[in-house]
Amino acid sequence: MTRFAAVDLGASSGRVMVWDGRGLTEAHRFPNGPVRARGRLRWDVRALYREILHGLRRAGPVASVGVDSWAVDYGLLDASGRLLDDPVHYRDDRTAGIAERVAARVGAAELYDVSGLQVLPFNTVYQLLAEDRLDAAAAMLLVPDLIAYWLTGEIGAEVTNASTTGLLDVRTRAWASGLIGRLGLPERIFPPLRRPGDPIGSLRPETAREVGWTSRVTAVASHDTASAVAAVPADGPRFAYVSCGTWSLAGVELPAPVLTEAGRAANFTNEAGIDGTVRYLRNVMGLWLLQESLRAWPGAGLEGLLEAAGRERPFAALVDPDAPVFLPPGDMPARIAAECRRTGQEPPASPPAFVRCVLESLALGHRRAIRQAAALSGREVDVVHLVGGGSRNALLCRLTADACGLPVVAGPAEATALGNVLVQARAAGLVSGLAEMRALAAGAGPLRRYEPSGDAAAWDAAEARITAGSAAGAF
């Protein structure tokens, strides 16, 4: 049996998973999160690399390894290939005001026409413009490309993740040299592009010695969301997805980008998927709202809180989950309470009430993004596939089905790692194409179906409350 390993770095945990042709097993899981160092919020990428090597050692020999992670963040290498500093975390505030300055200089419509990307304050393009080490940089490597470089010694930029930089041409999927030049960014730092399935190289001899075996490393859809969408267990085109972890990425899969003014105004993104597909989606703030609330309640268990939240009064308090005030780390319950007060609502009075507020607000965020994606693209949607860690949250799945008025199929929870290994299996000639990948994903673990059962008028009224309250502006 040919085995493949996925290195999958999420914002809340990293894991090394092994595919044996039928299912995935976890070789190693380790926590991840922001660290403060040298005046910035950063990722401890060297510690992550040590965990990855440990995971690969535990995984045992495989035919190939693939690496994916969250998008947009990068490390800079100097001319000798050394990392200049730990990557800055996308929740750091160094990009405050930069998107507005760029829009004033280049024009927001023109930027969108080139890259098709939604404006998020942390897009790589804005981070690079806030960078103080560019002069010393020979290469900019997005996080999975940096890990692949350390594993193999080979430099490149995988295209699905490159599409989140704001500097990739959405039509040609090549670096947007004209835009890069106009923004005064050095062309030399953008490495040659590679596509999912391309060979990257073999483990460096010293890496192979450390893990105890050797293998090739294959480019996968290295943007975690692209891998997750590749493993959505859909059996036709009429589906929406929510890739639900730290973020909820909610939208549809299309054969070509939608670059309309209406899509830009709604801040929809056209990110690159595998096989030329387009992930037409919006970022919804996701389970970050819950993760960060949990940090404020030491000792509270997730399972008990979710159970209690299920018994809380519906629609007692709602917030716009995408309010920029929720983006940075910090006291999340206090910020939710402040948003409730600002919009004339009584703040939740207990942790379960906060959790109820977060999950209903998120379900409404999913509804808004999915309905807008369908309307803006013309794609009809019969079912919502909710994948990622959030698919283990039965209350959130039920609320999402009720809010959308559509069935939700929940799972796989490890869709990202599945998409990662299945691209490798396809590159090895063991899997035929996207349809077979999706069939394998559907068979790889239990899926749960939630039929919409809620009161549609109550959800319409809840949405109107959020829309009325979002005067502060959402992404």
Q: Does residue 168 contact residue 124 with C-beta atoms inside 8 Å?
A: no
Contact residue for ligand ADP among 5, 6, 11, 17 (CB under 6 A): 11
DSSP states of 319-372 as a string?
--TT-GGGSSSS-HHHHHHHHHHHTT-PPP-SHHHHHHHHHHHHHHHHHHHHHH
Could you tell me how many residues of this chain bind ligand ADP (CB under 6 A)?
15
Site for ligand ADP in 219-278 (CB under 6 A): 245-246
* Residue number with CB closer to ligand ADP (115 or 248): 248
Q: Which of 224, 320, 322, 402 is catalytic?
A: 224
Report in angstroms how near the CB of residue 223 gets to ligand ADP at its nearest: 12
- Measured at the CA of 463, the angle between CA 386 and CA 383, to 5 degrees, comes to 30
Candidates 152-160, 284-292, 338-346, 422-430: pick the segment binding ligand ADP (CB under 6 A): 284-292
The item of ligand LRH, ligand ADP, none sharing an interface with residue 90, based on CB under 5 to 8 Å by kind, is: ligand LRH
Q: Does residue 388 contact residue 11 with C-beta atoms inside 8 Å?
A: no
Q: How many CB atoms lie within 10 A of CB 435?
A: 12
Tell me the CA distances in angstroms from 374 to 140, 290, 450, one per residue in order: 35, 27, 20
DSSP states of 91-122 as a string?
TSGGGTTHHHHHHHHH-HHHHHHHH-----TT
59-72 in b/e form (b: 16+ CB < 10 A) is beebbbbbbbbbbb
Q: According to the binding rule CB under 6 A, does residue 393 interact with ligand ADP? A: yes
Candidates 71-79, 127-135, 319-327, 385-393: pick the segment binding ligand ADP (CB under 6 A): 385-393
* Residue number with CB closer to ligand LRH (64 or 123): 123
The item of ligand ADP, ligand LRH, none sharing an interface with residue 333, based on CB under 5 to 8 Å by kind, is: none
* Residue number with CB closer to ligand ADP (245 or 263): 245
Contacts 24+ apart (CB under 8 A), 112-115: 112/259, 112/264, 113/259, 114/169, 114/170, 114/176, 114/178, 114/179, 115/163, 115/165, 115/166, 115/167, 115/168, 115/169, 115/170, 115/176, 115/179
Q: According to the binding rule CB under 6 A, does residue 287 interact with ligand ADP? A: yes
Give the residues lining the site for ligand LRH (CB under 6 A). Answer: 10-11, 70-72, 90, 223-225, 245-247, 249, 283
Report in angstroms how near the CB of residue 392 gets to ligand LRH at its nearest: 16
224 has catalytic annotation: yes
The item of ligand ADP, ligand LRH, none sharing an interface with residue 72, based on CB under 5 to 8 Å by kind, is: ligand LRH
Q: According to the binding rule CB under 6 A, does residue 392 interact with ligand ADP? A: yes
The item of ligand LRH, ligand ADP, none sharing an interface with residue 112, based on CB under 5 to 8 Å by kind, is: none
The item of ligand ADP, ligand LRH, none sharing an interface with residue 257, based on CB under 5 to 8 Å by kind, is: none
The item of ligand ADP, ligand LRH, none sharing an interface with residue 393, based on CB under 5 to 8 Å by kind, is: ligand ADP
For 193, the 3-state DSSP assignment is: strand
Candidates 7-15, 102-110, 188-196, 372-380: pick the segment binding ligand ADP (CB under 6 A): 7-15
d(CA 107, CA 414): 39
d(CA 448, CA 213): 38
Q: According to the binding rule CB under 6 A, does residue 319 interact with ligand ADP? A: no
Kindly report whether the peptide bond that precedes residue 192 is cis, defined as omega within 30 degrees of 0.
Answer: no
Positions annotated as catalytic residues are 224
- The contact set with ligand ADP (CB under 6 A) reads 10-13, 245-246, 287, 290-291, 302, 388-390, 392-393
